[in-house]
Amino acid sequence: MNITFFSSKLAKKTFLFLILAAFAPLVLIILVTYSQFSLMIDQHDHDQLKNVAKENALLIYGKLSFSRQLLAQIQPTESLDFQQSYLKLYFSALAEVQPEKRQLFWGHMDNRLLDQVLQVSDRQLLLRPDTDRSDIYLIVPSGMVAKVNPAYLWDETTTVLNSQPCILTNNYLPVHCPQHADIKPWLKKLQQAINEKQEIFFWHENDSTSMSYYWTLFMGHEFKVNNWIVIADKPISESLAVISQFRNIYFSVIALAILMVILLGSVLIRKNLDVITQLIQGTQRIKQRDFGHQIEVSGNDEFSQLASAFNSMSDSLHRSVREYTAFANIDRSILESVSGDRIIAAIFNSLYQIAPFHDLMMVNLTRQSSELNRLYYQKGSTQPILTGAEELEITSVLEQLPHDQLSYNLEINRDLEQLISLWQPTSKNICAIPVTRQDRLLAFIFATLTTAQPLETTITAQVLNFSQRTAVALYALEREAVFRHLARYDALTDIPNRVTLKHLFSTTLNTPGMFGAFLFIDLDRFKNINDTYGHLLGDSLLTKVAGRITTLLNKQETVARLSGDEFAVLVAGSIEQDVEKRVEDLCNGIINAINSPFHIDAHALHVGASIGVTLVPQHASDFPEALRCADTAMYASKKKGGNCFTFYTPEMSEYHVKRTILERHLRNAIGERNITLHYQPKVQSSNYAVSGFEALLRWNDPVYGPVSPFEVVTLAEEIGLITELGNLILELALEQWQHWIAQGYQPGSLAVNVSPLQLLSNEFTDVLTNVLRQNPLVPAKNLQLEITEGVMMHNVSQVLKTLADIRKLGIRIAIDDFGTGYSSLSYLIDIPADILKIDRSFVTKIASEEKPASLLGTVINLGHSLGYEIVAEGVETHQQADFLKLCQVEQLQGYLFSKALPVSEVEALYLKKSPAQSL
């Protein structure tokens, strides 16, 4: 048989499928049959062994029962001589045993046995172990004792199926086991089967496996002894022989079935493979772009229909491949980010493949990039020639041409004639191809035809499709130009961004012999304007700032927007002294320019500029270092009050390193509640008795040691942790008051300072409620929250609402640091407060100046008239205390009485005294 067709993968798969289709059901049937046959053989063996064990057990029991009945009928008389030949068939020894008499009639019985007979008067059967079996003795009440004849009891001719079962006692001693000289190989298996109540067990001996069945023979009723175990076994090989014979027959059937499938399948596959081979060859030719090959198949069946459809598909593919090849060339050029000139060249080359064009010209109307705004023309296969077309007024002419179809027989006017004169085509048969995208005209392609006839319909459709792909290419170039600009320039102000500035730094200031400076500019008060007037006005302000800075720069200087309200200026020069002089003049010019008011939407906006300057290469050699140093110098300008410039010095970096470490440690301290509070007592002016304490912040940094409270609060405000810090101080102070009250102390009132940001938080009232609930021993009226007048510079309505909610909880409000710069009578009237706390700046001038003392008295009288309780802080001398007492100030606080003390000293000095303790 010729099997060369098996080289085909399809033939192999079809052939394999046919084999599986025939083989799988057959194998399934065989497996099921084989399984059922094996189960039947196993069940047959089980039943056979069970019958053998049971029947042999009953047979032996019957022989023993008959022998016992026969022995019971024997009388010890002279007639025994006559019956001796008959009885010996059943008994190989016979004796009479009485306490006073022993007589042996025949056979052999030793005295030890006879003594044992007298001792077991309740038994009717005795066993005497031998090698492979035990001698069996029967006893009857008359005193007759007989040894059962083994030939009679174990006669193979009378056993079931001529088999010799193995019989054991219940303690596994052999009664009769002639076929097993050693029962050890299967004794454990037998014991395990009995324990698990399994009638069948398997065991191994001499590389062979046997199956055994045991039957329990009940001996107690008739013979007064324990039960016997009757065991029948059979080699597994006997069962396997039957199964092996069955398997050989079925394997022959399988082989015959497979052979038939092979023969029939080969004929069918070979018949249809020729047609498929031709289709494969045709497809391979198409793969090699040989579209001229046609498939020839005779007949009128499905294969001939497939061949006809294949030939039509080949023609269609030929046209599509030419079109998509042109598309692919353009797409490849776009993806490779090549120049616009190369993409135009790819467009021209692709048009030559699609249609019978000779000369081509493209007028590009996009205006986003000078690279795109060009006139391209090409003659034949020469390279495209580029020229500028800005001076030609042709846009209106092109707008009049159809944008959705090809145009022929163009009407040449003066402008179009001027355009064509640059092109100089070899033919007057010109076709105009519009290039549009989303109703926007991007370009026009003019092409000369070899004939005066318009293009065929199919080719026209391909050209229009290609014009759409050309529009995508031109739009991609346009967008790429926009993206390149956005990547290098700030989207809001249209000045260079950080990326461009970094590039200019490396290309300009890294040149040997060049000197320069990096100016970091941050606007002062811009955040207030942004929050007050909105981001739109803030964006307009940033744009105008960028414009003012730009007007101050020369060609060697660049301004860039870094982020938000941060700008940078790069200054370059070849003489170090000239650079420094220029930087000073430029900084002064920038500050003056930005200080001038900005008029936007009827608003006159005032901002300032804090500038940090880094000299290059004196202080920095690369962009990141220059940015960091200038930023550090800018913060130094901020610390001076802003609206100034500062040159970087190496000492400034130490401040920033310290600030970074303090910031990290403060975050950890707040998170771990590792903040300490000291308490400064407040006394009644009448008798100097302690009336309460003010909780004051203390923090020891693990590296820098004690940090001033002012520095801690300022740092927390800058890094956005002031609310968390203020809430933590409140929690720690109330927990300490709860502890003291629980210990029986009476610490009095507790004053805690509150940040304006805490009051502006919507959750602050809930925080107070929770902390009071967690410390129930502290009365709400004993808690005083100290706020500054500056809180009214924020969201007044929100602050007043929060203060009103706090007073509803029973907490008292104190206005702290009154008279430090934001004092206003309207605030004193509007703020729902209970206590007015005079700032130390008034108190320290009581003795030295008359006006402050007079003014202080007026403020105290005003506070009393408004219902405030007055507290004066910063009291350091008795003269100050006497004056304040004379002005009827209710409470005094200051170093004259005590500084702020840790908890242990407060307990030792004050809390152990009586409630009326005095200083």
Give, in degrees to the nearest 5, the angle at Cα 671 between 665 and 672: 85
Q: Quickly state the pLDDT bin for 827 (edges 50, 70, 90).
A: low
Give, in degrees to the nearest 5, the angle at Cα 143 between 138 and 145: 30
pLDDT in tens, 278-310: 777 777 777 766 766 677 666 666 666 777 777
- The answer to whether 736 touches 718, Cβ cutoff 8 Å, is no
What's residue 391's pLDDT?
Answer: 47
Instruction: Provide the β-strand partners of residue 437.
Output: 440
Cβ contacts of 404-409, under 8 Å, gap ≥ 24? 404/434, 404/436, 405/434, 405/464, 406/431, 406/432, 406/433, 406/454, 406/455, 406/460, 406/463, 406/464, 407/431, 407/432, 407/434, 408/432, 408/454
Q: Which residue has the tokens 């001529």?
A: 162
What's residue 204's pLDDT?
Answer: 79
- The answer to whether 871 touches 682, Cβ cutoff 8 Å, is yes
Name the burial class of residue 6, with classes exposed (0-12), middle (13-18) and buried (19+) by CB atoms within 10 angstroms of its CB.
middle
The better pLDDT of the pair 722, 272 is held by 722
Tell whether 631 and 691 lie within a shared domain: no
Chain-centre distance for alpha carbon 636? 43
pLDDT in tens, 190-236: 888 888 888 788 877 777 788 888 888 888 888 888 888 888 888 87
Q: How far apart are CA 176 and CA 112, in angstroms?
A: 22
Q: How far apart are CA 526 and CA 729, in angstroms?
A: 32
Tell whether 567 and 688 lie within a shared domain: no
pLDDT in tens, 130-147: 655 688 888 888 888 888
Structural domain boundaries enclosing 564: 490-648
Under DSSP, is residue 178 helix (H, G, I), strand (E, B) or coil? coil
What integer is the mean pLDDT of 34-54? 80
Q: Quickly state the pLDDT bin for 385 (edges 50, 70, 90).
A: low
What's residue 414's pLDDT?
Answer: 66
Tell whether 643 and 709 lie within a shared domain: no
Is 8 within a domain? no
Instruction: Provide the β-strand partners of residue 698.
Output: 676
- Looking at 210, 240, 270, which one is the last position of a domain? 240
Is 274 within a domain? no
What integer is the mean pLDDT of 467-494? 83
Chain-centre distance for alpha carbon 410? 64
Tell whether 89 and 235 lie within a shared domain: yes
Tell whether 26 and 174 lie within a shared domain: yes
Nearest to 777 by CA among 739, 732, 733, 728: 739
Nearest to 572 by CA among 584, 587, 585, 582: 582
* Number of neighbouring beta carbons within 10 Å of residue 130: 12
Torsion angle in degrees (nearest 10) through CA of 642, 647, 649, 652: 20
Strands (E), 289-423: 357-364, 375-379, 385-387, 407-408
Q: Quickly state the pLDDT bin for 335 (edges 50, 70, 90).
A: low
**CB neighbours of 293 closer than 8 A, spacing ≥ 6?**
281, 282, 285, 286, 314
Please provide the DSSP assignment of 824-887 as one string.
-HHHHHHS--SEEEE-HHHHTTTTT-HHHHHHHHHHHHHHHHTTPEEEEE---SHHHHHHHHHT
Chain-centre distance for alpha carbon 360? 56
Is 277 within a domain? no
Tell whether 125 and 234 lie within a shared domain: yes
Percent of residues, the chain, with pLDDT higher than 90: 24
**Would you state the structure tokens that stand for residue 167, as one six-digit string?**
């019989």
Q: Please count the CA atoms within 13 angstroms of the CA of 151 that sit on its side-chain side.
A: 7
Tell me 124's DSSP state.
S
Tell whether 687 and 635 lie within a shared domain: no
Q: Is pLDDT of 707 > 60?
A: yes
Question: Ramachandran region of residue 406, left (φ > 0), alpha (ψ -120 to 50) or beta?
Answer: beta
Helix, strand, coil tally for the chain in percent (to 5) = 50, 20, 25
Q: Is pLDDT of 360 > 90?
A: no
The reply to whether omega before 617 is within 30° of 0 (cis) is yes
Tell whether 465 and 429 lie within a shared domain: yes
Is 248 within a domain? no
Q: How far apart are CA 876 and CA 891, in angstroms?
A: 14
pLDDT in tens, 833-855: 899 998 888 888 776 666 667 77
Nearest to 505 by CA among 586, 629, 616: 616
What's residue 826's pLDDT?
Answer: 62
- The answer to whether 189 touches 202, Cβ cutoff 8 Å, is yes
- The answer to whether 713 touches 723, Cβ cutoff 8 Å, is no
H helices of 355-456, in order, are 395-399, 414-423
Q: How far is CA 649 from CA 231, 514, 523, 629, in A?
A: 108, 21, 22, 8
Instruction: Provide the β-strand partners of residue 561.
Output: 567
What's residue 599's pLDDT?
Answer: 92
Chain-centre distance for alpha carbon 591? 50
Which H helix or E strand runs over 323?
Answer: helix 302-335
- The answer to whether 493 touches 543, Cβ cutoff 8 Å, is yes
Residue 807's domain is classified under what CATH number? 3.20.20.450
Name the burial class of residue 579, with classes exposed (0-12), middle (13-18) and buried (19+) by CB atoms within 10 angstroms of its CB.
buried
What's residue 825's pLDDT?
Answer: 62
- Looking at 451, 486, 521, which one is the last position of a domain? 486
Q: How far is CA 671 from CA 662, 711, 724, 737, in A?
A: 14, 19, 9, 22
Mean pLDDT (the chain, rounded): 81
**Would you state the structure tokens that stand for residue 644, as one six-digit string?**
């100034």
The better pLDDT of the pair 602, 397 is held by 602
Tell whether 28 and 177 lie within a shared domain: yes
Cβ contacts of 602-608, under 8 Å, gap ≥ 24? 603/533, 603/537, 605/529, 605/533, 605/537, 605/541, 606/525, 607/523, 607/524, 607/525, 607/526, 607/529, 607/541, 607/545, 608/523, 608/524, 608/525, 608/642, 608/643
Cβ contacts of 13-18, under 8 Å, gap ≥ 24? 14/265, 14/269, 15/262, 15/265, 15/266, 15/269, 18/261, 18/264, 18/265, 18/268
Q: What is the pTM of this model?
A: 0.43
pLDDT in tens, 409-435: 776 666 677 677 777 787 778 888 888
What's residue 914's pLDDT?
Answer: 43
Nearest to 723 by CA among 758, 674, 751, 761: 758
pLDDT in tens, 560-605: 999 889 999 999 877 777 788 899 999 999 999 999 999 998 888 9
Is 310 within a domain? no
Amino acid at 612: G
Q: Would you mind telling me the total number of residues written for the chain in this entry? A: 919
Q: Quickly state the pLDDT bin for 351 (edges 50, 70, 90).
A: confident
- Domains held by the chain: number: 4
pLDDT in tens, 678-703: 999 999 999 999 999 999 999 998 87
Q: How far apart are CA 206 and CA 378, in angstroms?
A: 100
Q: How far apart are CA 812 and CA 735, in angstroms?
A: 18
pLDDT in tens, 47-91: 888 888 888 888 888 888 888 888 888 877 655 665 777 888 888
Q: Give the strands of the sheet with 385-387, arranged side by side.
A: 385-387, 375-379, 357-364, 440-449, 430-437, 407-408
Percent of residues, the chain, with pLDDT higher than 70: 82
Cβ contacts of 403-412, under 8 Å, gap ≥ 24? 403/434, 403/436, 403/439, 403/441, 404/434, 404/436, 405/434, 405/464, 406/431, 406/432, 406/433, 406/454, 406/455, 406/460, 406/463, 406/464, 407/431, 407/432, 407/434, 408/432, 408/454
- The answer to whether 437 touches 307, Cβ cutoff 8 Å, is no
Q: How far is CA 371 from CA 171, 204, 344, 444, in A?
A: 110, 95, 11, 17
Strand 891-893 and strand 869-873: the pairing is parallel
Is 288 within a domain? no
Nearest to 831 by CA among 853, 809, 856, 812: 812
Residue 567's domain is classified under what CATH number? 3.30.70.270
- The answer to whether 224 touches 124, Cβ cutoff 8 Å, is yes
Under DSSP, is residue 575 helix (H, G, I), strand (E, B) or coil? coil
- Looking at 430, 455, 486, which one is the last position of a domain? 486
Tell whether 395 and 383 lie within a shared domain: yes
What integer is the mean pLDDT of 734-739? 95
Question: Ramachandran region of residue 161, left (φ > 0), alpha (ψ -120 to 50) or beta?
Answer: left
Which H helix or E strand runs over 765?
Answer: helix 764-774
Tell whether 804 and 689 lie within a shared domain: yes
Is 853 within a domain? yes
What's residue 917's pLDDT?
Answer: 44
Q: Quickly state the pLDDT bin for 726 (edges 50, 70, 90).
A: very high
Under DSSP, is residue 815 helix (H, G, I), strand (E, B) or coil? strand
What's residue 840's pLDDT?
Answer: 85
Q: Across the chain, how many H-helices and E-strands are there?
A: 28, 32
Tell whether 500 and 482 lie within a shared domain: no
What's residue 297's pLDDT?
Answer: 63
Is 776 within a domain? yes
Strand 566-573 and strand 603-605: the pairing is unpaired
